[in-house]
Structure formats: C-alpha cells, structure tokens
C-alpha cells in the first residue's frame, strides 16, 4: 500500500537559526516538514506585542491577534505567524513580510497566492510548530508532555476499541504519553483533512510500529493509503504530531 509522506521535524531557535539549505533539502526529500521552536526563542527581542514592527509583519492577522482571549495566547499566535512567514520566506526565497496568511471558509489557514505550499499551525504552552508541505496537505498538533494528565474516562469516547486495548495493556507510566500520541495524531489528521473535530474521532484510529504511524479503521484493520504521520518528542516537554497527505492520495 502507498505510504504517504512522513513529516520531518526541524527544531529552530529563532528565525536566524533556520538553515535554508537544510530546510529545502528536507522538504525535497520528505515533501513535508515541521518547524518547531519555543515561544521565547522566536519572540523578537526587545519588543512587545503592540510594537509597530510586529504589527506590520502580522499584516491582516493583526485583528485576529487582537481577538485572542489571553495575552499568552496572543503571543503564541503572533509567534506562530512570524515562524510561518520566516519559514515560507526561507523556502521560497522571499521577504517574510510579503506573505499573506488567509483562511478558507472553514478557517483553515493558507498562504494566499502560494497554494502549492500547504501549511498548518499548532501551538500550546511555550511551543509553536508550523507544518509545510509541497503539493499535498499537512496537519500539525502540539501538546505538553507533563501533567496535568488526561483522565482516560474523559477521553474514552475519542478512542477506538483497538486503542483502548493498547492503553490498558500498557504500563501505567506509559499510558499518558501513549494517550497523548493517539490524540495529537488524530488532531493532526483532522487538521490535514480541514474538517476539525466534526469527524467522529472514535471512528478512526492510529497505530505506531517500526515503520512509523498509520491510520486505521475503528476495527484496527483498515489502513488508509496516501497518509503519512509522525509523532516526536520536542525535548522532554512537548509532543509534536503531524500528518502529511500525498497529492494523489
């Protein structure tokens, strides 16, 4: 069966840490790349969220930034857009300020006029990740590894029987990371599809083996071709999951 592109993870400590040649090579090889970095590393030094430079770089996203419910969320939003523009600019050899981040009617972001380069953004406490894919679709989700742990009964309805069996069979200390992996992979799949949580999560599952991550039917048997997924720890603090979908399915 056709395995989709497996996203490659690339950690960067700010825009100056982006190695253009390496990113381009990674994208050429895997066709899907996820750039991740800590919020404090990417925040422009010596500026506040209302600095004119930042607002100019945000462009039409200024209004969205202003609508974020908390200052922390606002900073993460701004950093995600700065990271997205910096990475796209490095890949396409253009000034990051020239890109326009637009949204489909369902809210999925894309780079206006650069439709071939698909994007996805994920963020959580202290970490931002952006996925870019050449000629396909990508979804990225991020979660903190540390507690507060998810309680299984509260998310049981999001898992397939196959996944629940695997969780129950796992050592107690391994359950929480495994559960996080399942949920972030499902989130990244839903983001790549552009449908969000409107697809019942209990109707599809994820499985990990030596070959990587796979998408399965709820009976644990149906394997979806054309999709590639990866899930990696970012240091000891976060988990990043990404799904890439090949153009031709």
Partner 1 sequence: MSERRASRFNGAGLPQGGTGAGSPPVLRGDPHRSDETIHRVRAVIRSHGVPTVERGWPPPPAPHPPTAAQLAASFKENGRLVLAVPGPDTDRQPYEDGRDAMTPRAGAHQPYADGADQGTRVGTWQSHGAATEPDTRVWVTVPSCAAADHEAGCRCVPELTQTFLHTVLPGWLVAAADTRLRTAMRAYQEHYAPVDDLTAVGALTGAFADVLLADCVVGAASDSLSAGTGSRALPAVCGHLVPRLLRESAEELIPLNARRRDGSLARSAYDFSAAREGEALMAAAGPAGARLSQLLAEFQPGSADRELRLLGREFRDFSGLPDGRDPAGRSFRELIRMLNRELRGLERRRSYLGGPTPGSPDPAALAVADRLALLAAAACGLGRLRLTGNDTERAWLLLALTRVLRRLGHSTPRLPRGQVGLVLKEVIVRDREALAYDLSRERIDLEIGSTA
Residues in contact with partner 1 by the rule CB under 8 A:
60, 88, 92-94, 98-100, 102-106, 111-116, 135, 137, 193-195, 198-200, 203-204, 215-218, 222, 224, 226-227, 245, 247-249
Q: Which is nearer to partner 1, 149 or 200 (CB)?
A: 200
Assess contact for 150 and 186: CB atoms under 8 A: no
Structure tokens at 28: 């050429």
Assess contact for 129 and 81: CB atoms under 8 A: no
Min CB(20)–partner 1 separation in Å: 14
CA distance 192 to 136: 9
Min CB(130)–partner 1 separation in Å: 16
Q: Is 145 helix (H, G, I), strand (E, B) or coil?
A: coil
**Environment class of residue 53 by beta-carbon count within 10 Å: exposed (0-12), middle (13-18) or buried (19+)?**
exposed
CA distance 188 to 195: 11
Structure tokens at 212: 């990587």
Q: Which is nearer to partner 1, 13 or 25 (CB)?
A: 25
Q: How far is CA 169 from the centre of its chain?
A: 28
Q: Which is nearer to partner 1, 127 or 213 (CB)?
A: 213
Min CB(135)–partner 1 separation in Å: 8
- Sign, CA dihedral 101-5-124-129, equals negative
Q: Which is nearer to partner 1, 38 or 137 (CB)?
A: 137
CA distance 24 to 122: 21
Min CB(195)–partner 1 separation in Å: 5
Min CB(225)–partner 1 separation in Å: 8
Min CB(103)–partner 1 separation in Å: 7
Assess contact for 122 and 109: CB atoms under 8 A: no
Assess contact for 138 and 119: CB atoms under 8 A: yes
Q: Which is nearer to partner 1, 101 or 240 (CB)?
A: 101
Give me the phi and psi of 214, to 5 degrees please: -130, 155
Min CB(110)–partner 1 separation in Å: 9
Q: Which is nearer to partner 1, 114 or 145 (CB)?
A: 114
Q: Is 143 helix (H, G, I), strand (E, B) or coil?
A: strand
Q: Which is nearer to partner 1, 43 or 227 (CB)?
A: 227
């Amino acid at each position: 069966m056709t395995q989709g592109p497996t996203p490659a993870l690339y950690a960067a400590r700010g825009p100056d840490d982006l190695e253009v040649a390496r990113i381009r090579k990674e994208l050429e090889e895997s066709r899907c790349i996820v750039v991740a970095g800590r919020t404090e590393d990417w925040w422009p030094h010596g500026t506040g969220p209302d600095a004119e430079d930042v607002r100019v770089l945000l462009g039409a996203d200024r209004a969205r930034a202003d609508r974020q419910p908390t200052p922390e969320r606002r900073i993460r939003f701004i950093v995600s857009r700065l990271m997205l523009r910096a990475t796209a600019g490095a890949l396409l050899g253009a000034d990051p300020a020239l890109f326009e981040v637009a949204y489909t009617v369902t809210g999925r972001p894309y780079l206006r006029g650069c439709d071939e380069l698909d994007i996805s953004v994920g963020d959580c406490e202290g970490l931002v990740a952006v996925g870019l894919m050449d000629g396909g679709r990508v979804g990225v989700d991020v979660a903190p590894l540390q507690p507060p742990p998810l309680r299984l009964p509260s998310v049981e309805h999001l898992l397939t029987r196959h996944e629940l069996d695997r969780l129950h069979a796992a050592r107690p200390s391994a359950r929480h990371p495994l559960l996080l992996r399942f949920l972030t992979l499902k989130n990244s799949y839903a983001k790549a599809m552009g449908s969000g949580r409107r697809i019942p999560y209990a109707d599809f599952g994820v499985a990990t083996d030596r070959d990587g991550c796979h998408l399965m039917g709820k009976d644990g048997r149906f394997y979806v071709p054309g999709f590639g997924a990866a899930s990696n720890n970012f240091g000891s603090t976060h988990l990043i999951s990404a799904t890439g979908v090949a153009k031709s399915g």
